[in-house]
Amino acid sequence: MEVILQLGVSGALMGLVYALIAYGFQLTFATSKSINFGQGELVMLSAFISLSIQNLGVPYWLMVPAGLLCGVLLGLVVERVAVRLALEQKSEGWILMTIIFGLFAFSAAENIWGRDDKPFPTPISSEPIHFFGISVTPVELSVAIGVLSVMGLIELFKRKTLWGKAFEAVSADRDAAELMGISARRTIMLSYGLSGLVAAMAGILVSPITTVGPTMASALILKAFAVAVVAGLDSGFGVVLVGLFLGALESLASFYIGSGWREAPGLILLILALAMKPNGVFGKASIRKV
């Protein structure tokens, strides 16, 4: 029983990273009904940039805000280069453009930082702490604290600030918001900037556990996408719960069935969600006008 609890807790903490990346999908979908399919590459690029900043001798606690700022800038680049024109033309071209951006980012990372995975130093201790027979490292706890803090602050920003209320207004009805004088373009830029910020935070949090490499995006993005689809693209609470569940499930599957089946739970949940609950378990049913 202790083994199951240990695997479940460790996997669930890792699942919070999937939830944070999935939350980035929700932010851009809310305002523009578009998704950055290169979100995983933003995680990878932000992690590499943060590692480079740290290698320059910048203290870890200054590297974190610098890395987040780089994530925001990368998110704005995606919006300007890969998404804005397609949205203005009311086409679905952003799908292909964000995929191309991801491929370009992967190629750039290989050429700049090399193909080998690199360790990501952190001052946070990796000595395990024991709770009721379960071992948790401070690095794993920092993932939970970081993910929940960032998501909580963004939700607070959306509810308590003028920019946040503009975000909610464009999410609810873009045309009505524009009639009220709210700039939909700037609000979409804001959503992509925030999406880049959460991607950078995910990269900084997960890299001390997984190392940094050009292929880290592919390992994360499919699971994050599964979390977003299963939870629904409009429920921040839902992505946290589904992320915890998927992380625990894949950890147990990897131990009891084999590491080769680690990706299976996410794929099965994705198929079931698309077949039975296309709007997600926590998503709102869409109403189509006829």
Q: pLDDT digit string (tens) for 47-65?
A: 999 999 999 999 999 999 9
Torsion angles phi and psi, residue 128, rounded to 5: -70, 145
263-275: average pLDDT: 85
* Band of pLDDT at residue 237, cut at 50, 70 and 90: confident
Closest CA to 19 of 225, 277, 281, 272: 225
Q: What is the H or E stretch that residue 26 is in?
A: helix 2-32
Closest CA to 10 of 200, 139, 177: 139
Distance CA 53, CA 87 (A): 34
Distance CA 289, CA 132 (A): 54
Give pTM, 2 decimals. Answer: 0.90
* Band of pLDDT at residue 125, cut at 50, 70 and 90: confident
Mean pLDDT (the chain) is: 89
Residue 1 in this model has a pLDDT that exceeds 60: yes
DSSP state of 35: -
196-216: average pLDDT: 91
Q: pLDDT digit string (tens) for 69-123?
A: 999 999 999 999 999 999 888 888 999 999 999 999 999 999 999 988 999 988 8
Residue 210 in this model has a pLDDT that exceeds 90: no
Distance CA 152, CA 143 (A): 14
What is the Cβ-side half-sphere exposure of residue 194, based on CA atoms within 13 angstroms? 28
* Per-residue model confidence (pLDDT) at position 272: 87
For residues 135 and 128, is the Cβ–Cβ distance under 8 A? Answer: yes
- In the chain the first and final C-alpha atoms are separated, in Å, by 54
224-237: average pLDDT: 85
* Per-residue model confidence (pLDDT) at position 289: 55
Amino acid identity at 261: W
| Longest pairwise C-alpha distance within the chain | 61
* Per-residue model confidence (pLDDT) at position 218: 79
Residue 269 in this model has a pLDDT that exceeds 60: yes
Lookup result for tokens 């998404």: 83
What is the Cβ-side half-sphere exposure of residue 218, based on CA atoms within 13 angstroms? 6
